[in-house]
Chains A and B, each alone.
Chain A
Amino acid sequence: MKIKAQVSMVMNLDKCIGCHTCSITCKNVWTNRAGAEYMYFNNVETKPGIGYPKNWEDQERWKGGWQVEDGELTLRSGSKLTRMLKLFYHPEQPELDDYYEPWTYDYETLISSPRKKHQPVARPRSLITQQRMEIKWGPNWGDDLAGGDDARADVNLKKIGQEIALEFSDIFMKYLPRNCNHCLNPACVAACPSGAIYKREEDGVVLVSQETCRGWRHCVPACPYKKVYYNWKTNKAEKCTFCYPRLENGLPSVCTDTCVGRVRYMGILLYDMDAVCDAAKIPDEKMIYANMLDLVKDPNDPAVIESARKSGVSEMVLKSAQESPVYQIIKRWKLALPLHPEYRTLPMVWYIPPLSPIAKNFEDRVYLPKSEAMRIPVEYLAALFTAGNTRIIVETLQRLLDMRAVMRQKEIGETLPQNLEFEPLEYERMYRLLGIAKYADRVKLPAGLQGKTHEELRELQGSTGYACPGGCC
Chain B
Amino acid sequence: MRSENSDTGEEIIPKLSILRERDDVVELMLPYFGNDRGEKSMISRAVPVKKIKTCDGVKIVTTVYDLTLANYGIDTGLGGECASSYEDDTPYTPRWQEKFTGVKAEMVIHTAREFADNSLKTHGRTMVIMGGGINHWFHADVIYRTILNLLMMCGCEGRNGGSWAHYVGQEKLRPIEGWARVMTGTDWQGGAKLQNSTSFYYFATDQWRNEEIDTAPLVSPDTTPRYRHPSDYNIMAARLGWLPAYPCFNKSGQKIFDEATAAGFEGIDGIRKFVAQSLKNRTLEFSWEDPDAPENFPRNLFIWRNNLIGSSSKGHDYFLKYLLGTRNSIFAEEESVVKPQEIKWRDESEISGEGGALQGKLDLLVDLDFRMAASALYSDVVLPTATWYEKDDLSSTDMHPFVHPFQAAVDLIWEARSDWDIFRTLAKAVSKVATEAELPVYKDVFAVPIQHDTEGETAQPEGKILDWSKGDCEPVPGRKTMPAIAMIERDYTKLYDKWVALGPAIQKGNGMKGLGWASDDLYEEIRTRNGVVEDKNLISYGMPSLYTAKKACDAVMGLSTTTNGKVAVRAWRDLERKTGLSDLTKLASDRESERFTFEMVAIQPRETITSPTFTGSNQNRRYSPFTVSIEQLVPFRTVTGRQSFYVDHELMFEWGESMSVYKPILDFKPLKNPLGQSKEITLKFLTPHNKWSTHSMYFDSQQMLTLFRGGQTVWLNEKDAESIGVRDNDWCEVYNRNGVVISRAVVSPRLPRGVMFMYHAQDRHINVPGSKISGTRGGTHNTPTRIHMKPTHMIGGYGQLSYGFNYYGTTGNQRDIYVVVRKAQEVDWLED
Interface residues, chain A, CB within 8 Å of chain B? 18-20, 23-24, 27, 102-105, 107, 110-111, 116-124, 135-136, 138-141, 143-151, 166-168, 171, 173, 362-363, 365, 367, 411-412, 414
Contacts and interface: CB of A to CB of B under 8 A. Distances in A.
B829 A121 contact: yes
A166 B769 CA distance: 33
Nearest to B122: A412
A256 B693 CA distance: 22
A363 B327 CA distance: 56
Contacts of A136: 729
A135 B114 contact: no
Contacts of B718: 148-149
A363 B110 CA distance: 8
A111 B107 CA distance: 54
B707 A147 contact: no
Nearest to A111: B372
Contacts of B748: 144-148, 151
A89 B691 CA distance: 42
Contacts of B122: 411-412
Given A122-B767, A135-B711, A168-B753, A146 B700 contact: no
Nearest to A44: B707
B830 A118 contact: yes
Contacts of B700: 105, 107, 122
Contacts of B15: none
13 contacts: A105-B700, A107-B372, A118-B776, A119-B377, A119-B378, A121-B764, A121-B769, A122-B767, A140-B707, A140-B708, A147-B729, A151-B749, A166-B749
Contacts of B704: 24
A170 to B, nearest CB: 10
B22 interface: no
B752 A138 contact: no
Given A120-B765, A141-B709, A148 B747 contact: yes
Contacts of A147: 728-729, 746-748
Contact of A103 (B110, B706, B715, B765): B706
Interface string B162-176: 000000000000000
Nearest to A149: B728
A145 B110 contact: no
B710 A362 contact: no
A365 B713 CA distance: 40
Contacts of A103: 702, 706, 710
Contact of B715 (A140, A146, A151): A146
B121 interface: yes
Nearest to B707: A140
Contacts of A19: 691-692
Contacts of B776: 118-119
B723 to A, nearest CB: 14
B788 to A, nearest CB: 26
B389 to A, nearest CB: 14
A27 B707 CA distance: 11
Contacts of A140: 707-708
A145 B716 CA distance: 11
Contact of B749 (A24, A111, A167): A167
Contact of B707 (A110, A118, A139, A167): A139
A146 B749 contact: no
A362 B372 contact: no
Given A135-B767, A136-B729, A138-B707, A118 B327 contact: yes
Interface in B682-703: 691-692, 700, 702-703
Contacts of A123: 767, 829
The 8 closest A-B pairs by CB, nearest first: A135-B710, A110-B372, A362-B107, A362-B110, A145-B750, A118-B830, A147-B728, A148-B749
B103 to A, nearest CB: 10
A70 B352 CA distance: 86
A221 B800 CA distance: 66
Given A110-B765, A119-B377, A123-B829, A363 B749 contact: no
A461 to B, nearest CB: 26
Contacts of B374: 119
B757 to A, nearest CB: 10
Nearest to A170: B749
B254 interface: no
A135 B709 contact: yes
A173 B749 CA distance: 11
A119 B764 contact: yes
Contacts of B121: 412, 414
Interface of B: 104, 106-107, 109-111, 113-114, 118, 121-122, 327, 372, 374, 377-378, 691-692, 700, 702-711, 713, 715, 717-718, 728-729, 746-753, 764-770, 776-777, 829-830, 832
A138 B749 contact: no
Nearest to A142: B748
A124 B749 contact: no
Given A147-B728, A171-B749, A124 B832 contact: no
A363 to B, nearest CB: 7
A312 to B, nearest CB: 41
Contact of B327 (A117, A144, A145): A117
Contact of B703 (A24, A135, A367): A24
A102 B776 CA distance: 28
Nearest to A133: B710
Contacts of A167: 749
B710 A146 contact: no
B749 A145 contact: yes
A55 to B, nearest CB: 16
A298 to B, nearest CB: 38
Nearest to B326: A119
Nearest to B775: A118
A171 B752 CA distance: 11
Given A120-B765, A121-B765, A20 B707 contact: yes
Contacts of B713: 146
A173 B777 contact: no
B832 A105 contact: no
B767 A121 contact: yes
Contacts of A107: 372, 700
Contact of B832 (A111, A116, A362): A116
A363 B127 CA distance: 23
Nearest to A414: B121
Contacts of B717: 168
Contacts of A104: 702
A137 to B, nearest CB: 9
Nearest to A103: B710
A138 B709 contact: yes
A119 B106 contact: no
A153 to B, nearest CB: 12
B106 A363 contact: yes
A118 B709 contact: no
B266 to A, nearest CB: 54
Given A103-B706, A121-B764, 20 more contacts: A18-B691, A20-B692, A102-B706, A103-B710, A105-B702, A105-B705, A110-B372, A111-B372, A117-B327, A119-B776, A122-B767, A124-B767, A138-B710, A143-B707, A166-B749, A362-B104, A362-B107, A367-B118, A412-B121, A412-B122
A150 B728 CA distance: 10
B372 A138 contact: no
Q: Which of B109, B748, B830 is packed against the most chain A CB atoms within 10 Å? A: B748
A136 B729 CA distance: 7
**Max count, chain B CB within 10 A of own CB: residue among A119, A122, A167, A411:** A119
Nearest to B104: A362
Contacts of B377: 110, 119-120
Contacts of B118: 367
B707 A124 contact: no
B101 to A, nearest CB: 14
B777 A121 contact: yes
A154 to B, nearest CB: 13
A20 B690 CA distance: 13
Contacts of A173: 750
Contacts of A24: 703-704, 707
